[in-house]
Amino acid sequence: MLSWLTEGPSLLPWLVILPLLWSILSLTAGQRLQPLIATTAVGLILLATLLVLLQWLQRGDHFYSLGDWAVPLGIRLRLDGLALLLLLLTSGITSVCTLHAGRYLQEYPRAKTYFWPLLAFCWAAMNVIWLSADLFNLYVGLELLGFSAVGLVALTGEKKALAASLRYLYAALLGSLAWLLGVALIYGHQGQLDISSLALTFTDSISGQAALALMTLGLLLKMAAFPLHSWLPPAHASALPPVSALLSGLVAKAAFYILVRLWLEMAPDNLTFSAAQLLGALGAAAVFWGGWMACRQQQLKMLVAYSTVAQLGYLLLLFPLTTGTGEEATRLAWEGGWLQLTSHALAKAAMFLAAGNLVLAMGRPDLPGLHGAGRYLPFSLLGFGLAGVSLMGLPPSGGFMAKWLLLQSALLSGQWWWILVLLSGSALSAVYIFKVYQQCYVESDNPDRFRQPALVLDLSALALALLALALGILSAWPQWLISTALPGGAA
Amino acid sequence: MIDLLLALTLPLVALGVLLARELFRAVVMFIAFGLLMALVWVRLQAPDLALAEAAIGAGLTGVLLLDALGHLRQPHPPGQPLRSLLPLLTILALVLAGALGLVLLGALLEPLQPSVNLPAEVALHIEASGVAHPVTAVLLAFRAWDTLLEVAVILVAVVVGLALRFSHDDAAAESRVSSPLLQGMLSWLLPLMLLVALYLLWIGSYRSGGAFQAAAVMAAMLVLLRLSGQQLPGQNHPLLLRAGLVGGLGTFLLLGSVQLLQGGAFLAWPEQLAGAFILLVETALTFSLALLLYALFEASPAPARKGHPPRTGDQPS
Amino acid sequence: MMLIDLLRALLLLSGALFFLVGTLGILRFPDTPSRIHALTKVDNLGLGLIVLGLLPGVEHWPVAIKMILIWLLAIAASALAGHLVVRVCREFRPSNAGEQQDD
Amino acid sequence: MMDLHFWLPVLVLFTSLGAAAIIFWLDENNSRMRSSINLAAAGIKILLVIWILVGVSQGEVYETRFTLLTGIDFVLRADALGVMFAGLSSLLWLFTTLYAIGYLEGTPNRRRFFGFFSLCVASTLGIAFAGNLFTFLIFYELLTLSTYPLVVHKGTDKALRAGRLYLIYTLGGGVVLLAGVLWMHSLAGDLSFAATGQLDALLPEQASTLKWIFLLLIGGLAVKAAMVPLHGWLPEAMVAPAPVSALLHAVAVVKAGAFGIVRVVYDVYGITLSYQLGLLLPLGIAAAITILYGSLRALAQQDIKRRLAFSTVSQVSYIALGISLFGPAGTIGGLVHLLHQGLMKVTLFFCAGNYAETLGIHKIQQLNGAGRRMPGTSLAFTIGALGMIGLPPIAGFISKWYLATGALHADMDWVLLVLILSSLMNAGYFLPLLYRIWFCPQQGEWPQERVLGRWDTSLWLLIPPLVTASLSLLAGLLAASDFSPLAWVQLVTTREYLP
Amino acid sequence: MNTFLPYTLAGGALVILGLTGFILHRHLIRRLLAFNLTGSGCFLVMTGLAQQGQGVDAVPQALVLTGIVVAVSATALALVLIRRWYHLTGLTGLPEDIEPELQQGDNPAEGKTQGAPH
């Protein structure tokens, strides 16, 4: 076994093949077979992810040349600690979402047929992006991800969902175009597309800067950074809960992931102090604006969706905190940023699942609909609460650990203004999260309208929330995983 | 000279597309633009792209747009196509565009210093790829990963289309054009198109052409059939149709995994049989892609039928 | 040699001229049937002339056959298209007198 | 045995954590099971704490430690000071639970209440055992979170408003504390609490930074300790059910703030360093102001619970005052008051709850003649109130005695004045109550009388205040014995002043 | 200056035009047209620029072929959504763009379509 892990072929392609196979099968098989296929596929993908983890533990970072064609001609997959973290995260969250969806979709018989293939495509696309080291391949991956996500949002065919998905699609398309143009410039000037190879030859030129700027713009649009965020809240709020969880938890992170690879890996020398500060400022603006808008929402899912805008803003603080701030501050910010991503992914997915359950249970999508929910204390409410703890960055949660690291980094690098952003952002998130909690304690006039959601719905939300919480206590391992991928500093 | 002229025409036609008063005119201009693009690809010595652009970019996209247009009224009064809500936004957009234009100009005119000579690499390895035509080699050997995912992209679009199709109204109930002359013409045009498609598929391994172009021709054939009101073979077997839709991706995956299962790399073709494998993949792709492209057209939600106009209660005046 | 070149130039030029005229016709003629007239007749003639002008220059005979085939196809297609368009026109004119331009 | 030393502090936490988990899982109507679990957990916890207590007094070390992030450890350690606080909370938790079971009998949402109640105690014990600032911060915030549902338990507008206010104050304080901890951490690394502080190495160039950090830390903690002007939440939070008030005022929240101040002064900075940096005097002045202001406000209140609340504001600052007096006597006074005030205040709140629950009494004027109707409750109330004033032989006297001695030792004579003034005011706001209870005749009907059993009220409600009242009496009477709170505090103090 | 440069520049111009149109237009199909124009511009830049440097290059051609197929998929996907949207609302633009107040009046339509929890 051990020798197979060290010497056997890498299992990376399976992480994409399996979801693709799943989608093919679920498109051709009948309705009755879907649960079986889904279970098998999720099981196999989880297994593959675990084996990939074991392989990585044995042999460390490695590349996988597809079709045995070497770079620059071919495309290669790249596995490092960061990619592995996201793979694990994706597998974990998506399988819980699958579990949730399996039960939840019984309410939506029509959407059910095409939900599974789209979900599988989405999964495949995410894995493609985490593993990809090729600029154009990332374009295809982004499109695959964007289309399947748009499809998932539109699945209910409701008016709101359609408007939201159209908005989402157009934003995604615009973002992809900007990315594609950047790729075109880079290929024209550099003659290659592999990120790691480009890192060696990337020079400070007009075309290089223009390409980076374009790609950054596209990615910012795709990750809904302020002020390009307006497409996100309706899309995430109007989708089915498992879809929202997936989108907010994982899909929105893909663009950020690429952004980091781009700047910190491909062109670290091109990131000037002011550019990094600008990115950070956008993040800060998102934190405030998203938080403020979340406070103003009356619909539960809209509130959660705006909170995503705010939380994604924190991620952008990674750039100012890693640019020219010294080794220790860079390390802290790097770990803090990715830990923030991880904990937000878990917490937000939990929160959307829980919110969906609560809406289902209470029969109303708005905040006053929650009146009296505290009486029944469904696990979903508990899940929502625990996820909220992580989002607020209160201990003991992953969110707290992440913010702690970011704060430390800011303090160490003397950029005290980010401390203010982090602290006041946390306060702002406390406001909107307690706004929800508070509703649950109000006694309702009609206590009997509560409808207990199925246990699996409740538990899937709770499980993710507990994971987000546990990340606060067990963050040493993820932290180590992240630290192995520190660009430049790993060696 | 001709290049300058053509290059100058392109933005002008594009401007026409954007500024056309009527949407229909804009779409027609767009199709013309697509055909111009095909010419441009010829001038850029990319005949594959010319074929694809004409068939897919102009042809299929045009048909899709026209078809959609037929089902949409125009709530906006014609004229003022560039009407936007905020004048500020307009100014902002123009300033942004200007800035981007300058940057782009700078980037495009900068001297090129490629660090890698990829065409040389392609020429070096084409022998090993199993095909003689470089574009096909890139698509199905060197960067087969992209192509695989690209097929998935189309499939996603089709799946979304299927998911959003109205179940209650059968699209076939629509009035379709039919005439004896058309039927007669089709009866010898269709086989010809099939022949052309197969020819394109076959030629792809050593000259311009390949799965995508062939599929586009085949899809056009299917669209023609559909428009002429004929039943498609297998139309009443949804499972068969779906199998056809996923067949390309499935075959690609399976053949790509052959080496993987024997301990090799994913998407690596067996050394001696590379050409055959690629041809197999291409054949499967052609048929499947044809169905997919056709399904893009077909899967669109059927329109409201005559007498049942869409609810117009909240239509802005 | 000279003569052939001259002839080819003449053919190509007149072909282009026919196209120009046909295009003018599409733009200027008042109603659909007359526009179709311009399209089907004049443009096909122009295409024919251009094909004829190009024929002497080809090196392999299959190419020549292909060009002629293309011409024939274009003629057939335009005839059919014209026929269909006119039918649709006739179908729609009496019922909706120009007010329903959206269908 | 080594394993047990590692696991014991966690185990103490887990008794209430586990209880919380089970209670959340149980059905709302299964109150018998719920009560059994609550009481069993409370009992087990007390036993475990006693075990630790004995061990610590014999010099054993119980420590749980693992790494959270590089450079940051999660540390639970039972030292003398922590065990002192843990002992108080676990003891009072038992009585508060008993009381709460009786108090909430038949009301809705009990599952939620007791679940969070247990969580709350778990976090309090976490605070007690926290071995470094970071761990302390974790449980400090957790305490905020787990008390919020209790404060808003009734779900009325008033409760929600109080909850909001509570959050604004405590989360704001949490943020300030976080800033302080963060700064300290970046300056001095992972600071485990140690009896003598460990910042000496940083002097003198970091002196002013250390002062700023001190301000942040104390500022954050002062919110929970309800020091003026950060006390606004406490009187508002009185809308919560009586057991919650007991919890807030005596067992957990306010005490956590005060305990945090103790930790910072003694175990982070070290009393000597704090003294050298001149940090003690400002702290003492702030405490003195709070004491006087709280008493003044208490005098003006007509609502019993609000009067008690302002009394808490005043009394808790005795602890801070004691800390700020450099010298063992002052320390003893402050720390012992932490225990004594808990016992006495919890008694008072139990009694106030009994009056409200049984007779519907909320205002002071309504108390007339209550002594005859509810003799047991009134007896307990009297003991608590007299103790608060500082009358011997009740526990409160001991605290004030040591505080006064400490003030003299520390050459801060003005403190004496504060103590005297405050005691006078204590008398001023408690004696009228006692007078009304015992000596005024009943006027008309009780506002809302319920007959619960053949005693004053139901036994669930009666026994806890009687026990805590007798405990506060005993703590005063037997102060000189080896098992009194005073004795333990003296042990703690000798360790703090050891070097 | 070679054959490819004019096309590269034309590609740049197309991108600018298309982007401006994409931002300013409100009609969804017009925006789709603008998207396609921008896409074509990108393709031109990709091929043109690469071939300026290294002569005829199969790689960008293959990439553009992929891009064309992706673009047509995008167009089809968008059209599906537009049609469905139009069918439900009679609108050809997004509500926020056309009439901001439409949003508010839109809420009661929540459970209108199929599949609402029963």
Does the pLDDT value for residue B315 go beyond 50? Answer: no
For A371, the closest chain D residue by CA position comes to: D155
User: Comparing C-alpha atoms, which of E42, E79, C74 is closest to residue B62?
Assistant: E79
pLDDT tens digits, residue range D443-485?
777 777 777 777 777 778 888 888 989 988 888 888 888 778 8
Residue B77 DSSP code: P
**Residue B70 to chain C, least CA–CA distance (Å):** 6
Q: Using CA atoms, how far apart are residues B209 and B205, in angstroms rounded to an integer?
A: 8
Strands D62-69 and D72-78: antiparallel
Q: Using CA atoms, how far apart are residues E61 and B150, in angstroms rounded to an integer?
A: 15
Scan residues 132-191 of A and list those with Cβ closer than 8 Å to D: none
A404 touches chain D (CB under 8 A): yes
Torsions phi, psi for A204 (to 5 deg): -85, 90
Is residue E117 in a domain?
no
Q: Using CA atoms, how far apart are residues D323 and D224, in angstroms rounded to an integer?
A: 17
Q: Using CA atoms, how far apart are residues D218 and D180, in angstroms rounded to an integer?
A: 9
What integer is the mean pLDDT of E85-108?
Answer: 61
For C100, the closest chain B residue by CA position comes to: B73
Residues of chain A with pLDDT under 70: 1-2, 377, 445-448, 489-491
**Residue C100 to chain B, least CA–CA distance (Å):** 10
Beta carbons of D190 and D492 less than 8 angstroms apart: no
pLDDT tens digits, residue range D355-370?
888 888 888 888 888 8
What integer is the mean pLDDT of D237-244?
Answer: 85
Cβ-defined contact of E33 to B27 (cutoff 8 Å): yes
Nearest to E7 among B44, B122, B293 (CB): B44
Does the pLDDT value for residue B316 go beyond 50? Answer: no
Count A/B contacts: CB-CB distance under 8 Å: 163
* Upper half-sphere CA count for residue A39 (Cβ side, 13 Å): 7
Beta carbons of E89 and B314 less than 8 angstroms apart: yes
Q: Using CA atoms, how far apart are residues D476 and D390, in angstroms rounded to an integer?
A: 10
Torsions phi, psi for E13 (to 5 deg): -60, -40
Q: Using CA atoms, how far apart are residues D421 and D430, in angstroms rounded to an integer?
A: 14
Q: Using CA atoms, how far apart are residues A415 and C29, in angstroms rounded to an integer?
A: 72
Q: Using CA atoms, how far apart are residues C33 and C23, in angstroms rounded to an integer?
A: 14
Q: How high is the pLDDT of residue B166?
A: 62
CATH assignment of the domain containing E53: 1.10.287.3510
D179 touches chain A (CB under 8 A): yes
User: Comparing C-alpha atoms, which of A281, A226, A283, A284 is closest to residue A424?
Assistant: A284
pLDDT tens digits, residue range B59-100?
889 888 988 887 776 544 444 444 545 677 788 888 888 998
What integer is the mean pLDDT of B238-255?
Answer: 88
* Pick from A306-310, C94-98, D110-114, D267-271: least confident: C94-98
Q: Using CA atoms, how far apart are residues D174 and A427, in angstroms rounded to an integer?
A: 10
- Residue A77 makes CB contacts below 8 A (sequence gap 6+) with A12, A13, A63, A64, A66, A131, A132, A133
Nearest to B182 among C80, C102, C103 (CB): C80
B65 touches chain A (CB under 8 A): no
Does the pLDDT value for residue D486 go beyond 70? Answer: yes
Does the pLDDT value for residue D112 go beyond 60? Answer: yes
Beta carbons of C74 and C44 less than 8 angstroms apart: yes
Cβ-defined contact of B149 to A128 (cutoff 8 Å): yes
What integer is the mean pLDDT of C71-92?
Answer: 81
Cβ-defined contact of B37 to E40 (cutoff 8 Å): yes
For B295, the closest chain E residue by CA position comes to: E76
Task: Give A441's contacts in chain D (Cβ within 8 Å).
Answer: 149, 152-153, 155, 159-160, 163
Is residue E73 in a domain?
yes
Q: How high is the pLDDT of residue A243?
A: 94
For B164, the closest chain A residue by CA position comes to: A157
Beta carbons of D295 and D287 less than 8 angstroms apart: no
Torsions phi, psi for D448 (to 5 deg): -160, 85
Domain spans of chain B, in order of start: 131-304
Beta carbons of A115 and A105 less than 8 angstroms apart: yes
Residue E84 DSSP code: H
For B101, the closest chain E residue by CA position comes to: E16
Q: Using CA atoms, how far apart are residues B74 and E98, in angstroms rounded to an integer?
A: 13
**Virtual torsion, Cα A80, A81, A84, A85, nearest 10 deg:** -150
Q: Using CA atoms, how far apart are residues C82 and C63, in angstroms rounded to an integer?
A: 28
A43 touches chain B (CB under 8 A): no
Nearest to A210 among B106, B118, B268 (CB): B106
Is residue E108 in a domain?
no
* Upper half-sphere CA count for residue D425 (Cβ side, 13 Å): 23
- Within A242-391, strands assigned E span none
Cβ-defined contact of E81 to B299 (cutoff 8 Å): no
The number of residues making up chain D comes to 499
Task: Give C84's contacts in chain B (Cβ within 8 Å).
Answer: 177, 179, 181-182
Does the pLDDT value for residue B184 go beyond 60? Answer: yes
Scan residues 97-156 of A and list those with Cβ closer than 8 Å to E: 107-111, 136, 139-140, 143, 147, 150-151, 154, 156
pLDDT tens digits, residue range D54-91?
888 888 888 888 888 877 888 888 888 888 899 988 88
Q: How high is the pLDDT of residue B85?
A: 54
Range of the domain at E57: 4-96
Q: How high is the pLDDT of residue E115?
A: 32
Q: Using CA atoms, how far apart are residues C48 and B3, in angstroms rounded to an integer?
A: 25
H helical segments located in B204-304? 211-227, 238-261, 274-298
Q: Using CA atoms, how far apart are residues A165 and A147, in angstroms rounded to an integer?
A: 10
User: Comparing C-alpha atoms, which of B45, A236, A208, D372 is closest to residue E3?
Assistant: B45
Kindly state the tokens that stand for B86. 């905020």
Percentage with pLDDT > 90 across chain D: 14
Q: Using CA atoms, how far apart are residues B303 and D51, in angstroms rounded to an integer?
A: 79
Residue A223 DSSP code: T
Does the pLDDT value for residue E102 go beyond 50? Answer: no
Kindly state the tokens that stand for D278. 């001149």
Torsions phi, psi for A366 (to 5 deg): -100, 170
Kindly state the tokens that stand for D351. 């009694």
Task: Bin B209: left if φ > 0, else alpha if -120 < ψ < 50, else beta.
Answer: left
**Residue B65 to chain C, least CA–CA distance (Å):** 14
Does the pLDDT value for residue E107 go beyond 60? Answer: no
Task: Bin A414: left if φ > 0, else alpha if -120 < ψ < 50, else beta.
Answer: left
Neighbour-count burial of D173, counting CB atoms closer than 10 A to its CB (0-12 exposed, 13-18 middle, 19+ buried): buried
Cα B18 to chain centroid, rounded: 21
User: Comparing C-alpha atoms, which of D43, D83, D39 is closest to residue D60?
Assistant: D83
ipTM of this model?
0.88
Is residue E61 in a domain?
yes
Cβ-defined contact of A110 to E115 (cutoff 8 Å): yes
Q: How high is the pLDDT of residue A280?
A: 94
Task: Give B135's contacts in chain E (Cβ within 8 Å).
Answer: 58, 61-62, 65
pLDDT tens digits, residue range D176-199?
999 999 888 888 877 778 766 567
Kindly state the tokens that stand for B313. 């209660």
For B126, the closest chain E residue by CA position comes to: E58
What are the beta bridge partners of residue D74? D66
Whether the ω angle into residue D447 lies within 30 degrees of 0, i.e. cis, is no
Report the Cα–Cα distance between both ends of chain A, in Å, rounded.
29
Q: What is the 3-state secondary structure (H, E, C) of B92-139?
A: HHHHHHHHHHHHHHHHHHCCCCCCCCHHHHHHHHHHHHCCCCHHHHHH
What integer is the mean pLDDT of D403-425?
Answer: 88
D409 touches chain A (CB under 8 A): no
pLDDT tens digits, residue range B101-116?
998 888 888 888 888 8
Is residue E113 in a domain?
no
- Residue D398 makes CB contacts below 8 A (sequence gap 6+) with D336, D340, D475, D476, D479, D486
Cβ-defined contact of A114 to B107 (cutoff 8 Å): no
Mean pLDDT across chain D: 86
Residue A333 identity (one-letter amino acid): A
Kindly state the tokens that stand for C58. 């080809």
Q: How high is the pLDDT of residue A16?
A: 94
Q: How high is the pLDDT of residue D460?
A: 82
Kindly state the tokens that stand for C28. 């200027």
Are chains D and B in touch, 3+ Cβ pairs below 8 Å?
A: no
pLDDT tens digits, residue range B108-155?
888 888 888 888 888 888 888 888 889 999 999 999 999 999 999 999
Which single residue is written with the structure tokens 């087969």? B144
Kindly state the tokens that stand for D186. 């970046």
Angle between helices A398-412 and D157-188 (to 10 degrees): 50
Cβ-defined contact of E9 to B108 (cutoff 8 Å): yes
Domain spans of chain D, in order of start: 327-499
D70 touches chain A (CB under 8 A): yes
- CB neighbour burial string for B258-291, b if at least 16 within 10 angstroms, e if fewer: bbbeeebbbbbbeeeebbebbbbbbbbbbbbbbb
Q: How high is the pLDDT of residue A95?
A: 94
Cβ-defined contact of C103 to B185 (cutoff 8 Å): no
Residue A10 DSSP code: P
Q: Using CA atoms, how far apart are residues D181 and D190, in angstroms rounded to an integer?
A: 10
* Count: domains in chain E: 1
The number of residues making up chain E comes to 118
Instruction: Please count the other Cβ atoms lying within 10 Å of the Cβ belonging to residue D7.
Output: 14
Q: How high is the pLDDT of residue A290?
A: 94
